[in-house]
Chains A and B, each alone.
Chain A
Amino acid sequence: MSPFDKLRVNGKPGYQTSPLILSLSKDEQRYFQLNKNISYKEINDDVIDAMTRTGPLYYVVLAIVTILTLLLFFLPWIYQIKVGQGVTGLNNPSYWGVYLVNFVFWVGVAHAGTLISAMLYITRTQWRRSVHRSAETMTFFALIIAVSFIMVHMGRVWNFYWVLPYPNQRTIWTNFISPLMFDVFAIGTYFLSSLIFLYFGLIPDIAAIRHRSAGWRRRLYVMLSLGWRGTDREWYIRDKAYMLFSVLIMPLVVSVHSIVSWDFALGIVPGLHKTVFAPYFVTGALYSGFAGVVLLISILRRVQQSSAKYITERHYDRIGITLLALSLLWSYLTILEIVMGLTSHSSFELEHLRYKLLNPGFAGLTALMIFSNTILPLSLSIRKVRVSITCQFIISIFILTGMWLERFLIFGTSLPRKFLPYAWHDYHPGWVEIAITAGSFFLFILMFMIFMKIFPVISITEVKEEWTDS
Chain B
Amino acid sequence: MSRFLDKLFARFNIYREPGYYGKYDYKWTIVIDLDKCDGCEACVIACHAENNLPIVGEEECSKNRAFNWIRIERYVEGEYPDVRVKFIPILCQQCGKARCEVGCPTYATYHNQDGLNVQVYNRCIGTFTCATYCPYDVRHFNWFSYKWEAPLEQQLNPDVTVREKGVMEKCTFCIQRIRAGKDHAKDEGREVTDGDIQPACVQTCPTGAMTFGDLNDPESRVSQLAKSERRYRLFEDLNTDPSVIYLKRVMKQTKQ
A interface vs B, CB < 8 Å?
83-86, 89-93, 95-96, 153-157, 159-160, 162-163, 172-181, 184, 263, 266-269, 415, 418-423, 425
> Does B141 count as interface, using CB distance less than 8 angstroms?
yes
B106 and chain A: residue at smallest CB distance: A162
| B79 beta carbon closer than 8 Å to chain A | no
Is B232 engaged at the interface, CB distance under 8 Å to the other chain?
Answer: no
A178-B126 in contact (CB<8A): no
Which chain A residues border B105 with CB–CB below 8 Å? 163, 174-175, 178, 180-181, 184
Q: Which of A85, A178, A423 contacts B143 (CB 8 A)?
A: A85
A155, B167: Cβ atoms closer than 8 Å: yes
- Beta-carbon contact of A266 and B60 below 8 Å: no
Specify which chain A residues have a CB less than 8 angstroms from the CB of B75 in the assembled complex.
421-422
B106 x A163 contact (CB < 8 A): yes
Alpha-carbon distance A240/B82, docked complex (angstroms):
79
Determine the interface band of chain B, counting residues with CB < 8 A from chain A: 35 or more
Contact B124 A155 (CB under 8 A): yes
Which residue in A84, A162, A419 is a CB contact (below 8 Å) of B144? A84
Q: Are B133 and A155 interface neighbours, CB within 8 A? A: no
Once the chains are docked, how many angstroms separate the CA of A267 from the CA of B123?
21
Q: Is the CB of A268 within 8 A of B123?
A: no
Closest Cβ neighbor of B110 among chain A residues: A175
Whether B128 pairs with A155 at a CB distance below 8 angstroms is yes
A421 vs B140: C-alpha distance when bound (angstroms): 17
Are A163 and B125 also in contact (CB < 8 A) when A85-B166, A89-B63, A174-B107 are?
Answer: yes
Q: Which B residues are CB-close (under 8 A) to A154?
A: 125-127, 166
Residue B102 at the A interface, CB < 8 A? yes
On whether A419 and B135 interact (CB within 8 A), knowing A155-B168, A162-B123, the answer reads yes
Q: Are A95 and B64 in contact (CB under 8 A)?
A: no
Residues of A within 8 A of B231 (CB): none
A86 proximity list for chain B (CB < 8 A):
60, 65, 143-144, 165
A84-B145, A163-B125 known; A156-B132 Cβ under 8 A: no
In the complex, the answer to whether B104 meets A175 with C-beta atoms within 8 Å is yes
Q: Name A419's closest neighbour in chain B (CB-CB).
A: B135
20 A-B contact pairs sorted by A residue (CB < 8 Å): A84-B142, A84-B143, A85-B166, A86-B144, A92-B139, A92-B141, A93-B137, A95-B128, A155-B128, A156-B126, A159-B125, A174-B105, A175-B104, A178-B103, A178-B104, A178-B129, A180-B105, A420-B90, A420-B135, A422-B71
Q: Which residue of A lies closest to B67 (CB)?
A: A92
Known: A92-B131, A423-B137. A155 touches B107 (CB 8 A): no
Distance in Å from the Cβ of A331 to the closest Cβ of chain B?
A: 28
* Chain B proximity of A355: nearest CB distance (Å): 16
Interface pair A95/B106, CB less than 8 Å apart: no
Is B135's CB under 8 angstroms from A175's CB? no
Check A177/B165 contact, CB under 8 A, given A155-B124, A159-B125, A267-B132.
no
A267 contact from B63, B73, B133, B167, Cβ within 8 A: B133
B14 within 8 Å of A by Cβ? no
Question: Is B123's CB under 8 angstroms from A266's CB?
Answer: no
B235 in contact (CB, < 8 A)? yes
Chain A residues with CB below 8 A from B166, complex form: 84-85, 154-157
Contact of A83 among B63, B132, B144 (CB under 8 A): B144
Complex Cα distance, B102 from A293, in Å, reads 36
Of A83, A95, A177, A184, which contacts B131 at CB under 8 A? A95
Q: A91-B65, A178-B102 are in contact. Are A153 and B128 (CB under 8 A)?
A: yes
B74: interface (CB < 8 Å): yes
B132 near A415: Cβ-Cβ < 8 Å:
yes
Chain A CB within 10 A, most for which of B63, B168, B238: B63
Indicate if the CB atoms of A92 and B132 lie closer than 8 Å. Answer: no
Query: What are the nearest 3 A-B pairs in CB distance?
Result: A155-B126, A86-B143, A155-B166
Which residues of chain A are within 8 angstroms of B123 by Cβ–Cβ distance?
A: 162, 172
Please name all residues of chain B whose beta carbon is closer than 8 Å to the beta carbon of A178 when the two chains form the complex.
102-105, 129
Inter-subunit contact A266/B131 (CB<8 Å): no
Find the A residue at minimum CB distance from B122: A159
- In whole angstroms, what is the CA distance A92 to B126 when docked? 14
